[in-house]
Structure 1
Amino acid sequence: MRNKWYGQQPKHDESSFKLFFSVFTIIFLVMTMIIIQVLNSGIYGSVDKSLFEARDNINQYVDFQMSLPTMEELTWAILNEKEADNPQDERPKLKPNRYLAANIDVVLYDAKGKIINQMGYMAQPYDFPLDDSRLNVIEQEKILTYWGKEEYYRIITVPVGNLNYPEIAYASILVNTEQLEISNRRTVRVVISVMIFFWVVSLFASIYLAQRTRKPILESFERQKKFVENASHELRTPLTVLQNRLENLFRKPQATILESSESIAASLDEVRNMRLLTTNLLNLARRDDGLTPELTTIQPEFFDTIFTNYQLVADENSKMFKGINRLEHAIRSDKTLLKQLLTILFDNAVKYTTDDGHIILTVSQVEKSLLVEVADNGVGISESDKIKVFDRFYRVDKARTRQTGGFGLGLSLAKQIVHSLGGTIKVRDNQPKGTVFEVKLPLQQMS
């Protein structure tokens, strides 16, 4: 029965999308708030500075406001065409004051909150009530002006202790910010619109990133799933044979070892196959974990020794073997991995050549690479099989490799070894028939 867990696919897409989209949303919210705060600080910074300066010089503003002519005096002066600098005019003269700002209006109150100073025709705030609950705090408010229009003002209310005008208890300092507010609202709308646009873009970016993140996970999951299914399939056959042979022996308890030798031999063959399979699986798992090669100095004679051993194996299998060693200098590589790689390629050539087949293994140095070629005159590999020949558990001739004990793991393991050594492996046709496996490994610098 198929494992339920391996029949399912990991659902990382939705969780990855939520994670990316949440991160983008938080980023854009924080950016929007920061930008709006910076805008407000820049727009109202100079206004607030003027308000604090006016607060610190409130007595000058009080003196100025109280020295302004009343509406009756101003009307009388205009009707009688009196000049402001008439020496006979005994009214207080308006003198320039470096502490006063032209854009500031001041409303003066007595202790009961009644407005003391007279607001002229040009004064904007009209009948502004006193709020002494929040002194020395700048606030933004909408105020009805003398002309009946509501406009935004920045306001700070402060206590007053003026010796010249002891009846004045409080003063509200106001600056009209209607135009600044309009400009600020327009800018904020633009900023929010831009942020919403990019927030929508982040939605699609989150989907794209989630899919990109999910792709390698799915590929790894599919490889793992296929690997487990194939391993289970390969183990099923020897286990079935063992079970049948053991059940057969159990049914014949009186049989001698000689009479049961065939079943025992077949069982031992299957045990050897299972041992070889599990060894290859462990080797593949070690390669997947990213085994770091151990570089050592390898003399050219190392390959001559390997070729001598291969000659013995070829003779036992009625094959013709020729080892060609063209190395003249020592190289640096992983001796164990290199030997395992050569053995896999040689063993593969032995399996896929007929009796009296020819196998040629050549080792040479090409520029800064170690070139290994294993050529045979066997059955060859079709173009469609060449694409999959390095896949795990893939066999070109399943019936033949079953007889020779192959599991389709050797070439996959060879590819893993080549990649761990930073090289490449290719397969091509041999002429007039057969296959050539070509491996190029970068030579490490000699210390």
Structure 2
Amino acid sequence: MKTEFKQRRSLFMRNVLAFGVIFLMLGFIVNQVLYQSLYTNIDEELRSVSTNSNFIEQELTKGDPGSNNMPKFSEELKPHRDLKPPNTFQVQPVLWSKDGKIINQEALGNRYTDMANLTFDKQKLGQIEALHVEDSYDQKINFRSITKQVDSGDVAYIQFISNTNQLEESMKFFQQVLIGCMIVFWILSIVVSYYLAKLNMAPIMASWKRQQEFVENSSHELRTPLTIIQAKLEKLFTKPNHTILEESEDIALALNETRRLNQLTNDLLLLARSDSNELVVDRKLADVKEFLVKASEPYQEIAKSQHKEMKLSLGHLQTVSFDSKLITQLLIILLDNALKYTGEGDTITVFSETTAKHWLIEVRDTGIGLKTSNTDQLFTRFYREDGARQRKTGGYGLGLSIAKSIVDMHHGKISIKENQPKGTVFSITLPLD
């Protein structure tokens, strides 16, 4: 439980941090995009006005009606006369003398009180800059401006400014809304992160528990044959003068357990490779009828020796692409399982047919049938309906797990149902793609 809590807390904190970083980046990007879009039009209008010579000459005449001097511009700042007249509704020109005094006070009218503390930087001529000044009522006013140097009598510089207070207020309101929304959604993301951590940990913990059970069961199953082998070998040391013939029964039992142990380790290795996706399915086209006849032939002889009947019922079959080794192992598991749980006089039937999209294989028997209604448990590793019977027949409860892994690797489905009037049917459906 402590491990689960630590993992869940770690996953929760990562999710919260990830959501927080995402919201911060999103907020920053939205704020920057909006800021740029709001001021782009103003800056373009200011540049347009500052490069319109007709408009500048008109403003200079207004500022100094008695002057007949036309403005002279430096070559690099020379305005373009072919530009269309700008929209100057939001733009206010301010004329400056060489000593930094505003000349067109009368033309500014009431706006002059807003610009009483206005200054400009001679080092930033021709550049857009943001200005923040206080008017005569100590209220903060924000401007965007551009200044050009001219030579027209008393006028040395002309500055075009645009009031941005409304935009600044809009930006502040937007930023407050944005921050509020980010906080609200971040709180919601905390709740979502908690449930995501819980949901994500569920399969991880289930897998961890299955792995833990698998290791414990594997250890138990490995311990049993090892204990038998160790006991028989130790017994041989207690009778050093006995011949092999005299101890042949114990030696045979030890060898039998060794073979079972070898089979168990091979099964565990196959399951481990299947879980880690290391097992490669080698698909090749093969004749299904020929394959089934060859794979079931040895088990027909075994069934005959046990006074049981095994028969093939083959419908329409076509050439199919599959891994013959894995499907052979699948059939061996199902046929071996059918032989174990059928008695004398029972029948085992291997049915198969192909459709336009699927290959169907069924192994039917008239044996003892199922004792559990939850057939999914039968595919659980080391699961036994009857532990004593499984031990007697030499089973470890891995066969059906391996069968399901083989079917899964072929992207198929396997199911179990009762046979009528008695027995069991194992049904496998494999896609033909």
Q: Secondary structure at the match of 1:247?
A: helix
2:17 to 4, 19, 22: 22
In the other structure, the counterpart of 1:138 is 128
1:61 to 55, 59, 62: 59
Q: CA deviation at 1:322?
A: 2.0
Matched letter for residue 152 of structure 2: L
Matched letter for residue 220 of structure 1: S
Provide the rounded CA distance (Å) in 2 between the counterparts of 1:352 and 1:432. 16
Provide the rounded CA distance (Å) in 2 between the counterparts of 1:161 and 1:49. 21
Provide the rounded CA distance (Å) in 2 between the counterparts of 1:156 and 1:194. 33
Name the % identity: 38
In the other structure, the counterpart of 2:292 is 303
Alpha carbons 1:293, 1:420 under 8 Å: kept = no
2:314 to 298, 309, 326: 326
Alpha carbons 2:47, 2:146 under 8 Å: kept = no
Provide the rounded CA distance (Å) in 2 between the counterparts of 1:388 and 1:248. 40
Unaligned runs of at least 5 residues, structure 1: 1-6, 69-96
Please identify, of 253-262 and 365-374, the stretch whose mean Cα deviation from structure 2 is larger: 365-374
Q: Secondary structure at the match of 2:417?
A: strand
Matched letter for residue 19 of structure 2: F
TM-score by length of 1: 0.80
Q: Secondary structure at the match of 1:373?
A: strand
Alpha carbons 1:25, 1:199 under 8 Å: kept = yes
- Report the structure number with the largest CA radius of gyration: 1
Please identify, of 406-415 and 279-288, the stretch whose mean Cα deviation from structure 2 is larger: 279-288
Alpha carbons 1:21, 1:203 under 8 Å: kept = yes
Unaligned runs of at least 5 residues, structure 2: 67-83
Q: What is the RMSD of the two structures over their aligned residues, measured on CA atoms?
A: 3.1
Distance 1:291 1:302, change over 3 A: same
Q: CA deviation at 1:270?
A: 0.9
Q: CA deviation at 1:260?
A: 1.9
Q: Secondary structure at the match of 2:425?
A: strand
The alignment status of 1:313 with 2:308, answered yes or no, reads no
Q: CA deviation at 1:299?
A: 4.7
The alignment status of 1:250 with 2:247, answered yes or no, reads no
The alignment status of 1:128 with 2:117, answered yes or no, reads yes
In the other structure, the counterpart of 2:26 is 31
Q: How many corresponding residue pairs?
A: 406
Provide the rounded CA distance (Å) in 2 between the counterparts of 1:48 and 1:259. 108
Provide the rounded CA distance (Å) in 2 between the counterparts of 1:424 and 1:282. 22
In the other structure, the counterpart of 1:403 is 392
In the other structure, the counterpart of 1:342 is 331
In the other structure, the counterpart of 1:284 is 271
Kindly provide the CA deviation profile for residues 206-234 of structure 1, in whole angstroms up to 9, marking residues without a partner as x.
33444444333333322222222111110
Distance 1:372 1:37, change over 3 A: closer
Provide the rounded CA distance (Å) in 2 between the counterparts of 1:431 and 1:302. 28
Distance 1:132 1:439, change over 3 A: closer
Kindly provide the CA deviation profile for residues 52-102 of structure 1, in whole angstroms up to 9, marking residues without a partner as x.
33444556534422339xxxxxxxxxxxxxxxxxxxxxxxxxxxx956835
TM-score by length of 2: 0.82
The alignment status of 1:274 with 2:261, answered yes or no, reads yes
Matched letter for residue 22 of structure 1: L
Matched letter for residue 138 of structure 1: I
Provide the rounded CA distance (Å) in 1 between the counterparts of 2:288 and 2:146. 93
Provide the rounded CA distance (Å) in 1 between the counterparts of 2:204 and 2:45. 61
Provide the rounded CA distance (Å) in 1 between the counterparts of 2:376 and 2:150. 95
Q: Secondary structure at the match of 2:152?
A: coil
Q: CA deviation at 1:384?
A: 4.0
Alpha carbons 1:157, 1:170 under 8 Å: kept = no
Provide the rounded CA distance (Å) in 2 between the counterparts of 1:194 and 1:8. 35
Kindly provide the CA deviation profile for residues 340-388 of structure 1, in whole angstroms up to 9, marking residues without a partner as x.
212111111222234x151312223164443333233333222345230
Provide the rounded CA distance (Å) in 1 between the counterparts of 2:169 and 2:374. 72
Matched letter for residue 331 of structure 1: T
Provide the rounded CA distance (Å) in 1 between the counterparts of 2:115 and 2:332. 100
Provide the rounded CA distance (Å) in 1 between the counterparts of 2:87 and 2:217. 90
Q: Where is the helix percentage greater, Structure 1 or Structure 2?
A: 2
Provide the rounded CA distance (Å) in 1 between the counterparts of 2:383 and 2:244. 38
Provide the rounded CA distance (Å) in 2 between the counterparts of 1:291 and 1:244. 40
Provide the rounded CA distance (Å) in 1 between the counterparts of 2:420 and 2:105. 113
1:388 to 372, 377, 383: 377
Provide the rounded CA distance (Å) in 2 between the counterparts of 1:8 and 1:185. 47
1:230 to 217, 237, 259: 217
Distance 1:175 1:403, change over 3 A: same
Matched letter for residue 376 of structure 1: D
